[in-house]
Structure 1
Amino acid sequence: MIVIRGGVALVIAELTALLIYSVQNGSVNIRALLLHNLSDALASVAVVAGDALILIYD
């Protein structure tokens, strides 16, 4: 169940990062928002990987 939620969160974080990247015009605030979204995406990857390991090795 957590794998599904983490996957959905990963997709949403990637889509919002792509959206932010498309409107980035050199603003420092927009760049910080983009980096924040990318860190959220990496956290989602860690959640999915951790839960997958738990499911595999019980």
Structure 2
Amino acid sequence: MTVREANQNFSQLIAAAERGEVIVITSNGVPVARVAPEGKSGRQDCDGNSDRVYHRG
């Protein structure tokens, strides 16, 4: 999914993650981000190195 597609379909992107899907976001064909259900991204929780962490709910 491209950055533009992700922007235009953000609620659908989140719904897909809620269903367990992992979505890779690309820019000019290069993977730049991943949207995944919590705990499925293969990374630990926030390591404290992020400038921005958003929590929902």
Tell me whether the two structures share a fold, i.e. TM-score over 0.5: no
Pick 1 or 2: higher relative contact order, CA cutoff 8 A, min separation 6: 1
**Greater share of helix residues, 1 or 2?**
1
**Greater share of strand residues, 1 or 2?**
2
Larger-Rg structure = 1
- Structure 2-normalised TM-score? 0.30
- Structure 1-normalised TM-score? 0.29
